Structure 1
Amino acid sequence: MDIALAGADDGVALAVLDAAGRPGVVERLRGPAFPARVAELERAGPRWVWADTAVLHPPLLEAGVSVGRAQDLRLAHAVLVRSRSLARPLPDDDRWRPADPDLAGSGEPSLLDLPADGRTPDLAEVVAEHRRQQDAVAASTRPDRLRLLLAAESAGALVAAELTAVGLPFDEAVHTALLTRLLGPRPLPGGRPARLEALAAEVRTLLAAPGLNPDSAPDLLRALHTQGLTVDTTRQWELERLDHPVVAPLLEYKKLARLLSANGWAWLQAWVRGGRFRPEYLPAGVVTGRWAARGGGALQLPKQVRAAVVAAPDRRLVVADAAQLEPRVLAAMARDEAMARASRAGDLYQALVDDGVVDTRAHAKVAMLGALYGATSGEAGHLMPRLLRSYPRATGWVEEAARAGERGEVVTTWLGRSSPAPPESWHRVQQLASLPEATATDQRRARSQARDWGRFTRNFVVQGTAAEWALCWLADLRRRLRDLGEVGGVRPALVYFLHDEVIVETPAALAEPVAEAVRAAARRAGELLFGTFPVEFALDVACVQSYAEAA
């Protein structure tokens, strides 16, 4: 049973849809009547059809109501207007666009574009868009895959809202003690902590630059150049190549300044409330379908901060990390039996060493990342021929995606998310290079841009499919956790997600059942996407009191 739900001037409106997607009697609800009616209807196990989970699910969660299934029409629209799996393109419409990564501005692909807000459609618009999407999927080349993708996207949106509502347990006292130990006492507004100020003074002395602001990259570069230190940037890898006494204090300053900026006292005050870290997640905030975060740095929680993520004494954190996810996904997509066999050895990189493909695990990792990201020079370029010989199907899969991108074509993930086409500026450069009067500079520029786009499409098919696997993992795990029940009035709950890693907070008595649910959900995700093809999606699972214990 599908139930359409939309915001209205006087609250919300909902209607049960018949088999043809037509609405029945429209109910209009205000105030507490809204969550109460949803809770009543939820007992029948419907699928809620609404424009935007991020708008409609939080008020339900605040009232203690969590729905089991939903169809997020904006997330679905973003997939369907671009997917090359459709027999007939779904017309784009600003009202239904949660995100449209803008690649035209820079002329280069980006995996880090975030969505923009739009107005809230009414019930009639929700019903009409739902029917359009259902018809488009039914007429697609692979409706089974698209339906799975849209269901997984929508389940992910439910999880995202719940992650913010529940929050990650966070001990403010532990984090404050960490900041004080590393940086010194909290400074007055606008001031530097004592440790940073001391390091800044040391850097100024060693560079003979008494007025230097080490937070200013241009000023720092000038001071370095004045001392004869030729670097193009102030990035760590460049500074580490220098032989000068300033390197150590400067790198320490930059590391501590990052901690202060990303996870300092201001961050603690803004994002940790009531002993819980509550960031804002953005499902499909990246063009490949990966999540992003609107604030709080949820997807960049550094290891030094994790000691503050602590469960209550009668609870545990079940931390699970999908090991080497993207190579395993590539093996499954390409139906590469040899690489699949390596995946079943547990550590896929070590399996490459054991099979004689490369000589060390470090080389195995470099070679595999080179295949996924298109490295053609250095150590990765040297190792690539060995990978090509051992795994021709897997490497051929990403090579073809890269060649398609170089030709300006669109590529598609396993379930049907298609990449953006290159911008017009990209095509203009390619056309200019093809003219008889094109210069050698024009041709070099065109080849460089083609290779850049090829690297983007090469990784798009793998990263996007890995994101689809992770969404199916999340959706199935969420269902299993709901079925585990509670202990002392407390249920296991997802509290953190980072691309291929989850954290479940659970009563201690349910820690082992939760760990098994995490593993079972990973197996199910593999089956949903790839059927019986024998790739193992290995997990590192730990039941701990503190997140730091699992790192």
Structure 2
Amino acid sequence: MVVAPGGAAAPGEGGDQARVGEVPPEAAARGVVGTEKAVRWVWDDTGRWYPRLLADGVRVERCLDLRLAHRLLRGAAATAGSRLATTPSGPFDAAGAAEPDRVESLFDVATPQERPDEDALLAEIGAQDEAVADHPRLRLLLVAESAGALAAAEMRHTGLPWDRRVHDEVLAEQLGPRPTGDARPPRMAELAEQVRTELGAPRLNPDSLPDVLRELRRNGLPVTSTSKWELIGLDHPAVAPLLAYKKLSRLHSANGWAWLDRWVPDGRFRPEYVVGGVVTGRWGSSGGGALQLPKSIRRAVRADEGWCLVVADAAQLEPRVLAGLSHDERMAEAGRGRDLYQGMVDAGVVGSRDHAKLGMLGALYGGTTGQSAAVLPRINRAFPLAMAHVETAARAGERGEVVSTLLGRSSPLPGAQWNQVQADALDDEAGASAQSRARAQTRAWGRFTRNFVVQGTAAEWALCWIAEVRRRLWALGEQGDAGRAPEPFARRPHLVYFLHDELVIHAPQELADEVSAQVRDAAAAAGRLLFGDFPVDFPVSLASARSYADAKD
């Protein structure tokens, strides 16, 4: 075993019996020796070290990311009493290589610190091994999270293939020719002038929310925001051009020419994924909007000549995960070999697929109004085990308690403000407003924990899926002519994009069918790994095409 850059074996990987060698950073590429499957790298941060190996054409089969593991174990209820969880903050509590766009992480993190020295690495490995000694599920989660970190680094290394010419065509079609300097694109300038004319405000800046609200109100429109859902029902000639302007403004600011120059300089989009960047374990992104690619620019995502994009979507992932979590056999049966929502209709639970979807979303997210609430009683009767599982999580959250996913990722405790609101409501002199505020806050936290156990376990399934797909793609070996991806992936199918329950693989065209089969089998394997022999299916819709848009349509 080779451990780098540190000097000890990974937890559970042989301990004193392992062959251990410290590899200095400057010699990392030469440190991979022997059979790659016999090598496990242990390092403080995958995002810090793995790109150096990839740049030298070296792929790492598996690793243990100590920082990711540390964060998980510090927050896990199962290890709350461990030495690792109770010691003061140290170097492994510092920020990693990148921070998520939105702050939704489990802990406030410190400013990045220098790389931990060898003694700190050895101490951390020992503390982690001790913490997970009696928790095999948590150990699996650490392995999956670390595999996700490797995949994230590889996707940044290869990049998502992008056709700048097509992207420019999309922008020109919708915005007009590229403007010079800071000028508005022609179509936006036309709409801005139309809005000014209709509102009688010749100097209005349509990008200024306070100014737009003021002018709308001056024209007799009782608005509180400029959201589409508030404006769309208003009868005024300024509404249509204002909504059109807002739509084009989002495209221009989020994925316009400046974005194209910044993020796709060489025909590859290389965002920085943040593994576990969201509190439930979902990934975040540190820039470029990787998790929010709008439909309008999908056709710019194009495979290399002779290659294709295999796009895989896991169908109704969260409801299926809930069926597995709760061992609700009737719910699992509704989705066996078919669309789960249609299966609910066929079983007589609800009258339409739309009702099934709305009702299930209400169950997962705590919907108490509208159509979802109307069908919830029928879903409760049909799937009592599944509904009891999320209700139990909701009640725990309302009491201010921690809940955990299948593999042991735990929710954070509510903060000091939550506790203060609850305490104020219990005061003998508390008024109706204080009690109402406490009830609303209690219900909101219950909705969070209700969804946490399902969304978090779905994120764990996705990590296992990624890890299995990554392993299977590499096992297919080198095929045909090289694409434009860098080594070691130039002749191999490889992951290029991930979004919650969707994977995109860049593959030689002749391997499209084989890659699709491997992705489908990997989804089934991930289900077995998490839920054993409980009969819950994880079907995947698959399509291959030259462009992302064609595969999605």
Instruction: Give the total of aligned pairs.
Output: 532
1:37 and 2:54 correspond: no
Other structure's SS at 1:209 match = coil
Contact 2:4-2:23 within 8 A present in 1 as well: no
2:60 maps to: 67
1:414 and 2:406 correspond: yes
2:486 maps to: none
1:478 and 2:470 correspond: yes
2:369 maps to: 377
1:123 and 2:118 correspond: yes
Question: How does 1:119-518 map onto structure 2 within 5 Å?
Answer: 119-139=114-134, 143-488=135-480, 489=482, 490-518=491-519
Alpha-carbon distance in 1 for matches of 2:458, 2:194: 46
1:4 maps to: 3
Deviation at 1:118, TM superposition (A): 3.7
Alpha-carbon distance in 2 for matches of 1:375, 1:44: 47
The amino acid that maps onto 2:532 is: G
Alpha-carbon distance in 1 for matches of 2:499, 2:276: 13
Contact 1:318-1:515 within 8 A present in 2 as well: yes
TM-score (normalised: structure 2): 0.92
Contact 2:23-2:31 within 8 A present in 1 as well: no
Alpha-carbon distance in 2 for matches of 1:369, 1:99: 34
Which is further off, 469-478 or 503-512?
503-512
Superposed CA offset, 1:78-120 (max 9, x none): 11011112273323524112569xxxxx9xx957999663432
Contact 1:357-1:386 within 8 A present in 2 as well: yes
Please point out which of 46, 51, 54 is paired with 2:39: 46
Deviation at 1:511, TM superposition (A): 1.1
Superposed CA offset, 1:256-291 (max 9, x none): 111001100011011113211111110000011000
Distance 1:421 1:15, change over 3 A: closer
Other structure's SS at 2:544 match = strand
TM-score (normalised: structure 1): 0.92
Contact 1:330-1:462 within 8 A present in 2 as well: yes
Please point out which of 71, 79, 82 is paired with 1:78: 71
Deviation at 1:438, TM superposition (A): 1.2
Which blocks of at least 5 consecutive residues in structure 2 are unaligned? Answer: 97-101, 483-490
The amino acid that maps onto 2:58 is: V
Contact 2:274-2:283 within 8 A present in 1 as well: yes
Distance 1:345 1:274, change over 3 A: same
Deviation at 1:521, TM superposition (A): 0.6
Other structure's SS at 2:132 match = helix
Alpha-carbon distance in 1 for matches of 2:523, 2:18: 37
Deviation at 1:466, TM superposition (A): 0.4
Alpha-carbon distance in 1 for matches of 2:503, 2:107: 23
1:96 and 2:92 correspond: yes
Alpha-carbon distance in 2 for matches of 1:500, 1:69: 22
Contact 2:326-2:389 within 8 A present in 1 as well: yes
The amino acid that maps onto 1:69 is: R
1:9 maps to: none
Alpha-carbon distance in 2 for matches of 1:453, 1:429: 13
Alpha-carbon distance in 2 for matches of 1:27, 1:412: 36
Other structure's SS at 1:74 match = helix
Superposed CA offset, 1:98-143 (max 9, x none): 569xxxxx9xx9579996634321222112101110111013xxx2
Contact 1:221-1:231 within 8 A present in 2 as well: yes
Other structure's SS at 1:273 match = coil
Contact 1:42-1:67 within 8 A present in 2 as well: no
Contact 1:336-1:393 within 8 A present in 2 as well: yes
The amino acid that maps onto 2:528 is: E
Distance 1:118 1:464, change over 3 A: farther
Distance 1:351 1:98, change over 3 A: farther
Contact 2:44-2:66 within 8 A present in 1 as well: yes
Distance 1:305 1:223, change over 3 A: same
Quote the sequence identity (%): 55
The amino acid that maps onto 2:255 is: N
Contact 1:78-1:98 within 8 A present in 2 as well: no
Deviation at 1:437, TM superposition (A): 1.4
1:10 maps to: none
Distance 1:311 1:112, change over 3 A: farther
Other structure's SS at 2:77 match = coil
Which blocks of at least 5 consecutive residues in structure 1 are unaligned? Answer: 7-12, 101-105
The amino acid that maps onto 1:4 is: V
Distance 1:263 1:440, change over 3 A: same
Other structure's SS at 1:506 match = strand
Deviation at 1:424, TM superposition (A): 1.4
1:545 maps to: 546
Contact 1:187-1:193 within 8 A present in 2 as well: yes
Which is further off, 219-228 or 352-361?
352-361
Other structure's SS at 2:241 match = helix
Contact 1:169-1:275 within 8 A present in 2 as well: yes
The amino acid that maps onto 1:120 is: R
Distance 1:237 1:94, change over 3 A: farther
Contact 1:51-1:120 within 8 A present in 2 as well: yes
The amino acid that maps onto 2:230 is: E
1:522 maps to: 523
Distance 1:195 1:450, change over 3 A: same
Superposed CA offset, 1:445-491 (max 9, x none): 11011111111111111110000000000001100011001113510
The amino acid that maps onto 1:319 is: V
Alpha-carbon distance in 1 for matches of 2:15, 2:392: 41
Superposed CA offset, 1:364-396 (max 9, x none): 111111111111112222221111111111111
Distance 1:174 1:112, change over 3 A: farther
Alpha-carbon distance in 1 for matches of 2:294, 2:155: 19
Question: How does 1:527-538 map onto structure 2 within 5 Å?
Answer: 527-538=528-539
The amino acid that maps onto 1:153 is: E
The amino acid that maps onto 1:547 is: Y
Contact 1:114-1:286 within 8 A present in 2 as well: no
Alpha-carbon distance in 1 for matches of 2:105, 2:357: 22
